Each structure stands twice: as C-alpha cells, then as structure tokens.
Homo-oligomer: A and B are copies of this chain.
Amino acid sequence: MTTIKDVAKYAEVSVATVSRVLNKKGYVSKDAEVAVLKAIKDLNYKPNSVARSLYHKTSKMIGLLIPDISNPFFPELARAVEDVALTYGYTVVICNTDEDKRKEQQYVDALKQKYIDGLILSTNQLSIDDYKSLHVPLVALDRSISDSVPIVTANNFIGAQQATEYLIDNGSTFLAHLRGPVGVKTADQRYKGFKEVVEKKGIAHVVVESEFNIHHAKKTALDLFERYPSIDAIFASSDIMAAGVMKAAKQMGKEVPTDVQLIGFDGIPLGEMLTPSLSTVIQPIYDMGAISTRLLIKQIEKQPLETLHYELETELNIRETTRSEQYE
C-alpha cells in the first residue's frame, strides 16, 4: 500500500505538508498543493484510517446493537442505519445480542477497543453505566435506556387506538387483543391504547398475552376462538402474531375478514405477502433507523440536539383483513 511517505517523496515535500493538504488545514502554498494532489492521484493514495484512528481516538464506525437481525423487524432498521451512516462516511458494525447480557458485554468491550464513535441500542441488557463507560454518544431505538439518552420510538399508544377504533367503526362488537409480553414497553403501550378505546366506547373485549412469535400466537388465538366463538375482531400486537391468528382462524373455519376482522402492528413486508393481505399499523421503521443514526452522528459531531425524545407517527394501513363498511 502506498503511504503518506511515498506521496511526500513523489511530491518532493514533507509528510507534514501532505497531511495538511489531505486535511485542508494550515497553510500550504499553491505549488505544494498542486504537487501533492498530483502525487495522490498518480499513486492512487488513500489515507490509512487505522493510523488516523490511533491519533484521533475515533474510528468513523458506529455500532448497532440489536437482538437478532433475523427477526423481521430489524433488517429494515439496519438498512436505514447503514444508509445514513454511509452518507456521512461512517461504517456500521452489526451486533446480534440475543438479549444476552454476556454477549452484549462482549460486544461493548470489543467496540470500545476499536474506538467506536457511537452506539445505537435496540437492546438493553446492561445498565446505563456499562454503556456510558464507552464514553461515546448513544441513541436508544425503540427501547428506553435512561432519561439522559436520546430515544426514538413510534407512537404505539395512538397507533393502537386507531386500529381499535377502526375495528369498532367497522361493526365489530366483541374485540380481542393479543398483547405482547407484559413489561415490554411497546407491548404495554399498545395494550393501553386498545384498552382506552374499548373502555371508553363500552365495547365487550378480552385481552390475552402472547409471545411475539407465530406459534405461540396461533396457539393463543386457537384457545381464544374456542373460549369465545363470538369474537369478531382481533387486534394483534405484531404482524407476526397476526399471521398466527390467520392460521388459527383458518383452522377453526373462520373467514377473515368476513367472520373476524384482523389488524396487526409493525408494517413489516410479511403483511403484504399474506393472503388476504394484512391490515396493520405501520411503524415508520426505516425512518426510525434513519433518524436514530442522524441523532447519533449529530452528537458525535458535537451538534446540539433539539429534543431527547422523537416519537414518530404510525399509520393505519387498511388492506384485506378488515371489512370496509365505512365506504359502502
């Protein structure tokens, strides 16, 4: 590889001068600049980032800690992070933590040793102090870490309200909510949104808890249909759960949306692939990733943040698992 020394020799100047034109810093005569630029071009010189890192104690790399990239919520998020990072000249290191404390610590240590410039956290098994020990900017994505860490989420509460209202406005009178695990913030918010609407409107309802996977959701829905055959609408806390509900409905001989209306949550590509395609509350996943990354880079570059909590709006996307009596 050609180094700054080679360039200096070729341009007949010192390495300091080469460095100056490289960084557009300090005085350089026109002649010297031209010679250096020519040398850089002729030798196809690219400055070595590792050497730069060592001096500056930065790396132009950011870390993305997520539970598992193969969970369909995360690819689009990761994609957004990577896109924005690339725009600003950053590279992203991806870390699947499986919500495992030990793995997370291992990553945090490794990243620290590499002078990572910042961290996006979609997982939080460690304490805030562990993250802070990195002494780099942080952003929490769809998780709350601490009041001092900027956070980006969707408005789960309002999204759930919209879905619930839609089901009721379309004539359903006995709603069920498949909620996610208690204690998971997003699941709690969606539950609250559902609850508030059915209670305010005095609509019969039942809430059951499920894990965020298709098998458990199917089982839970099967049980639900068994116990309450007259349920005529289900609001599921995720699209994957909704896919499970569809399987259960089919098995019980219930037609969606004729017998039971169904709305999911997330807006992952899966929804569109299902038949009938899934009505759902879309979270702006890409935007959430993109905004998080911009927030992180702003901090890295010492720019002021306007606010510490970005709450993005969801959008109710009506596809084929709901009836559309409103428009008939």
Tell me if B114 and A91 are in contact (CB < 8 A): yes
Instruction: Provide the residues of chain B in CB contact with A72, threshold 8 Å.
Output: 72, 75, 269
Structural contact, B250 and A112, CB atoms closer than 8 A: no
Q: List 9 A-B contacts (CB under 8 A).
A: A50-B59, A51-B54, A61-B93, A69-B75, A72-B72, A78-B94, A94-B94, A214-B272, A273-B274
Quick one: which of B70, B103, B112, B114 contacts A75, CB cutoff 8 A? B70
Q: How many copies does the complex hold?
A: 2
Q: How far is the CB of A129 from chain B (nearest CB, A)?
A: 14
A243 within 8 A of B: yes
Bound form: Cα–Cα A192–B1 in Å:
45
The answer to whether A275 and B275 have CB atoms under 8 Å apart is: yes
In the complex with contacts A46-B109, A75-B74, A274-B275 CB distance below 8 A: yes
A43 within 8 A of B: no
* A68-89 interface with B by 8 A CB criterion: 68-70, 72, 74-76, 78-79, 82-83, 86
A276 neighbours in B (Cβ, 8 Å):
250
- A274's nearest neighbour on chain B, judged by CB, is B274
Q: Which 5 A-B pairs have the closest CB atoms?
A: A243-B273, A49-B113, A70-B75, A50-B53, A70-B79
| Contact between chains at B272 and A270 (CB < 8 Å) | no
A115 CA to B53 CA in the complex, in Å?
A: 12
A47 / chain B contacts, CB cutoff of 8 Å:
113
* B96 and A82 within 8 A (CB): yes
Contact with B along A264-303 (1 / 0, CB 8 A): 0000011011111100000000000000000000000000
Given A48-B113, A49-B114, do A76 and B82 touch, yes or no (CB 8 Å)?
no
Cβ-based interface call for A92 (8 A) = yes
Q: Is A240 an interface residue (CB 8 A)?
A: yes
Q: Beyond A83-B96, A270-B270, A273-B243, is A70–B59 a contact (Cβ under 8 Å)?
A: no
Cα distance A129–B324 in the bound complex, in angstroms: 58
Q: Chain B contacts of A95 at CB under 8 A? A: 82
Asked if A110 is an interface residue, CB under 8 A from chain B, the answer is yes
Q: Quick check: is A247 within 8 A (CB to CB) of the other chain?
A: yes
